């Protein structure tokens, strides 16, 4: 007992935080109290109102006892709690032989602003920020229900980052919630810095190229996932939320499909699936046709294609890989540079690729068209992670097509499909609603049917409450 008491002394805490220059210690000699806190994790206004002003106003020790009895002060007895409390933005008050903690957490945070990676035209523009509490508030604002439950966990042996699991009682399947919670608790690592990183720890198959959970930084998307029966994971210090379980086809829908007329939404979805096909196969098909299957070219195109290939010194595979690689370079450079410089990169790239390479006879202009259209098609896919994965896969397909022509292309498709079939998201098939077949869900996956037809929640969520709209009008 005595040993423990000694541990919780002021000296001990100061010893624990030795060499932490950002630790602030203040002394109130009149009442014999000391306070310790990290000045950058506390809200200054709260600190003044809740701690500094009341303490300075006190004259006697008796009054201090009175004050500490108020509910915002929590008595702590062991040093571990005290240390954690201070780290989490609390102020530790050392008076006489007691220690109290008061939570005045309020670090500097970016204010809610527009999403840069997932911008849409119509619909709400706000995006999650790096504070989980703000993010939860953005969700709560959208779902005003006591059924919206939040489970708190923390990950990271060193970082102790807050993670919140959000779900709606009676809509979400509790088996999924438990599974997810167990997976989060099982994580053993030093620190997790982003939702994208967290989702990889949680996935069923971490070695896969495909993201198995949907990540988004849009609160409207997140809350629509919640009400459809999915589970949302938010992690502090990251604007990325994870929703699970996810299916492959979910990555091809965007929230504005629902904000626009259904015809337009449907058309856009179909465009995205066409983009999927183009981005995966277009350049590969060019390579296959020009390397092996010349007979597939119609007469009207034959001369154009042959002439454009005429001066190119490399076989089509190398030509295509070279151009694809250049586009990836440009894209990566554009992403790293500030917007103004990024524009220059675009111009330089356009001229270098579009003109000089063709004139120098390094590539054929038909290839430029095909490489450019597959790059554009990859940007059409709304989810950044998915589109990046597809771009990587494309290289594999091109190489296969360069070796075995159309058969290589088909083998590549087979490998991708077999791999996709073996994936699961929280144990549910990744390819719902195609395999296993759920015809009912097709009208909200491949098309966006009018709302009067979208009566049920997706079956993949295994929700106990599948009916969304009871009576059709």
Partner 1 sequence: MNEKIRPFNLAVLVYMSQVGIVVFTLPRTLADYFGTNGWLILIPCFLLSGFNIYLISLVYKLGNGRSVFEIMEQSIPKPLLYPFYMGLTAVWMMFGCVIGKKYVLLFQMLAFPTTNPMLFKLMFDILAFMLITKGIYTISRAATMFFWITAWMYLLLLWVLPDFNWVRLTPFILQGGHNQFKGLLEVYGAFLGYEISILLFPYIDRRKKMMAAIQAGNAYLSVSYINLGLVSFGIFSSDQLKQLLYPLLDILAYIQFPFVERLENLLYGFFMFLVLMTVVMYWWGAVETAGRIVPRLKRQVLAFVLLAITYGISFLPKTIDEIDAWISFLGNITTGVAFGLPVLLITVLLIQKKGEKSGG
Partner 2 sequence: MVNKIAGMLMLVLLLTGCSTDQRILDKLGMVQTIALDQADGDKLLVTASIPVIDPNAELKREILQAETNSVKEARLVFSRQTDLRMVSGQMRELLFGIDLAEKGLWKYVETQLRDPSVGFSVKLTVVDGKAGELLAAEHKPHADTGRYITHLLEKEAAGNNIPATTLYEFSRDYNDDGIDVIAPIVADGGSKVRVTGIALFAGDRVVMRVPVKEGLIFALCRGNLKRGEAAINLGDTIGKPEVVVFSSVTSKRKVKVHRMQDGRFKVDLYVSLQGSVLDYTGERTLREEKDRHELEKELSLSIEDKAEQLIRQMQQKKTDALGFGQYVRGRLSYKAWKAMDWRETFPEVEVDCRAKVKIKDYGKYM
Helices 365-380 + 384-422 axis angle, to 10: 90
Residue among 10, 420, 454, 455 that touches partner 1 (CB under 8 A): 420
Residue 134 or 424: the one with the smaller Cβ distance to partner 2 is 424
- Quick one: which H or E segment has residue 405? helix 384-422
Q: Do 233 and 166 contact (CB within 8 A), yes or no?
A: yes
Contact with partner 1 (CB under 8 A) among 19, 295, 340, 467: 295
> What is the four-CA torsion angle of 408, 411, 416, 418, rounded to 10 degrees?
-170
> What is the 3-state secondary structure of 342-358?
HHHHHHHHHHHHHHHHH
Distance CA 436, CA 139 (A): 32
Give the residue with the Cβ less far from partner 1, 99 or 180.
Answer: 180
Contacting residue, 156, 195, 265, 405, with partner 1 by CB under 8 A = 405
Interaction with partner 1 in 423-452: which residues (CB under 8 A)? 424, 427-429, 431, 434-437, 439
State which of residues 168, 368, 409, 445 lies at the interface with partner 1 (CB under 8 A): 409
Identify what 427 binds: partner 2, partner 1, none; CB under 5 to 8 Å per kind: partner 1
How many helices and strands in the chain, by DSSP H and E? 18, 12
Based on CB atoms, which residue is closest to partner 1, 29 or 439? Answer: 439
Q: Quote the CA–CA distance of 83 and 86 in Å, as a whole number.
A: 5
What is the 3 state secondary structure string of 304-319? HHHHHHHCCCCCHHHH
Query: In this complex, which beta carbon is closest to partner 1, that of residue 46 or of residue 410?
Result: 410
In angstroms, give the least distance from the CB of 410 to partner 2: 14
User: Are 26 and 35 a contacting pair, CB within 8 Å?
Assistant: yes
In the set 418, 467, 472, 473, which binds partner 1 (CB under 8 A)?
A: 418
Q: Which stretch binds partner 1 (CB under 8 A): 143-151, 192-200, 400-408, 450-458?
A: 400-408
* Residue in this structure with the two tokens 């409390």, named with its chain if needed: 85
Shortest Cβ 310–partner 2 spacing (Å)? 5
- Among residue numbers 299 through 338, which ones bind partner 1 (CB under 8 A)? 300-301
Which one of partner 1, partner 2, none is in contact with 418 (Cβ closer than 5 to 8 A by kind)? partner 1
- The reply to whether 369 sits near partner 2 by the rule CB under 8 A is no
Of 104-112, 123-131, 363-371, 405-413, which part binds partner 1 (CB under 8 A)? 405-413
What distance in Å separates the CA atoms of residue 179 and residue 244, rounded to the nearest whole number? 11
d(CA 167, CA 176): 10
Tell whether residue 178 is a contact of partner 1 (CB under 8 A): no
Cβ proximity to partner 2, 3 vs 299, nearer residue: 299
Contacts of 444 (CB under 8 A, 6+ apart): 454, 458
Pick the closer one to partner 2 by CB: 72 or 310.
310
- Interface with partner 1 by CB under 8 A: which range of 40-48, 87-95, 288-296, 369-377? 288-296
* Shortest separation between residue 420's beta carbon and partner 2, angstroms: 14
306 interface partner picked from partner 2, partner 1, none, CB below 5 to 8 A per type: partner 2
Closest by CA to 324, choosing from 289, 360, 356, 284, is 284
Written as one string, the DSSP assignment of 43-56 is -HHHIIIIIIHHHH
Do 464 and 172 contact (CB within 8 A), yes or no? no
Among 88, 404, 449, 465, indicate the residue that binds partner 1 (CB under 8 A): 404
- Burial annotation 121-142 (CB, 10 A radius, 16+ → b, else e): eeebeebbbbbbebbbebbeeb
Give 3-state DSSP helix, strand, coil % of the chain, rounded to 5: 50, 15, 35
Q: Give the residue with the Cβ less far from partner 1, 21 or 418.
A: 418
Chosen residue from 221, 400, 432, 434 binding partner 2 by CB under 8 A: 400
**Binding residues for partner 2 restricted to 286-325, rule: CB under 8 A:** 289-295, 297, 299, 302-303, 305-307, 309-310, 312, 315-316
User: Which of partner 1, partner 2, none interacts with 350 (beta carbon under 5 to 8 A by kind)?
Assistant: none
Cβ–Cβ < 8 Å for 179, 193 = no
Point out which residues bind partner 2 (CB under 8 A). Answer: 289-295, 297, 299, 302-303, 305-307, 309-310, 312, 315-316, 399-400, 403-404
Point out which residues bind partner 1 (CB under 8 A). Answer: 292-293, 295-298, 300-301, 404-407, 409-411, 413-415, 417-418, 420-422, 424, 427-429, 431, 434-437, 439
């Amino acid at each position: 007992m005595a040993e423990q008491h000694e541990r919780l002394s002021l000296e001990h805490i100061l010893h624990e935080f030795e060499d932490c220059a950002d630790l602030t210690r203040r002394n109130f000699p009149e009442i014999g109290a000391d306070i310790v806190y990290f000045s950058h994790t506390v809200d200054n206004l709260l600190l003044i109102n809740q701690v500094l002003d009341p303490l300075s106003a006190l004259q006697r020790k008796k009054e201090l006892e009175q004050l500490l009895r108020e509910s915002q002060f929590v008595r702590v007895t062991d040093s571990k709690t005290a240390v954690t409390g201070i780290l989490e933005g609390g102020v530790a008050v050392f008076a006489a032989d007691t220690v109290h903690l008061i939570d005045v957490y309020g670090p500097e945070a970016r204010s809610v602003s527009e999403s840069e990676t997932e911008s849409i035209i119509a619909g709400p523009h706000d995006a999650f920020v790096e504070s989980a509490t703000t993010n939860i508030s953005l969700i709560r604002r959208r779902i005003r229900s006591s059924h919206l439950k939040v489970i708190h966990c923390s990950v990271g042996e060193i970082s102790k980052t807050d993670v919140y699991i959000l779900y709606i009682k009676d809509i979400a399947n509790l088996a999924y919630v438990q599974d997810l919670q167990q997976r989060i608790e099982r994580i053993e690592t030093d620190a997790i810095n982003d939702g994208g990183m967290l989702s990889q720890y949680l996935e069923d198959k971490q070695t896969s190229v495909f993201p198995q959970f949907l990540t988004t930084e849009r609160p409207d998307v997140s809350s629509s996932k919640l009400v459809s029966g999915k589970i949302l994971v938010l992690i502090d210090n990251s604007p990325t939320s994870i929703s699970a379980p996810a299916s492959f086809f979910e990555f091809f829908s965007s929230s504005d499909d629902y904000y626009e007329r259904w015809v337009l939404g449907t058309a856009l979805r179909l465009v995205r699936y066409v983009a999927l096909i183009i981005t995966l196969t277009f350049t590969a098909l060019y390579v296959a046709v020009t390397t092996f299957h010349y007979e597939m070219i119609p007469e009207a195109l034959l001369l154009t294609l042959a002439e454009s290939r005429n001066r190119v010194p490399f076989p089509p595979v190398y030509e295509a890989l070279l151009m694809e690689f250049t586009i990836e370079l440009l894209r990566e450079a554009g992403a790293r540079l500030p917007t103004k410089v990024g524009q220059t990169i675009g111009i330089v790239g356009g001229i270098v690729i579009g003109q000089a390479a063709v004139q120098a006879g390094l590539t054929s202009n038909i290839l430029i068209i095909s490489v450019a259209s597959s790059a554009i098609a990859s940007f059409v896919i709304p989810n950044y992670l998915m589109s990046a994965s597809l771009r990587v896969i494309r290289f594999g397909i091109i190489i296969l097509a360069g070796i075995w022509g159309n058969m290589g292309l088909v083998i590549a498709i087979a490998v991708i499909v077999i791999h996709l079939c073996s994936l699961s998201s929280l144990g549910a098939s990744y390819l719902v609603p195609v395999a296993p077949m759920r015809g009912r869900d097709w009208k909200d996956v491949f098309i966006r049917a009018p709302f009067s037809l979208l009566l049920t929640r997706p079956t993949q969520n295994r929700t106990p409450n599948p009916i969304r709209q009871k009576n059709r009008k």
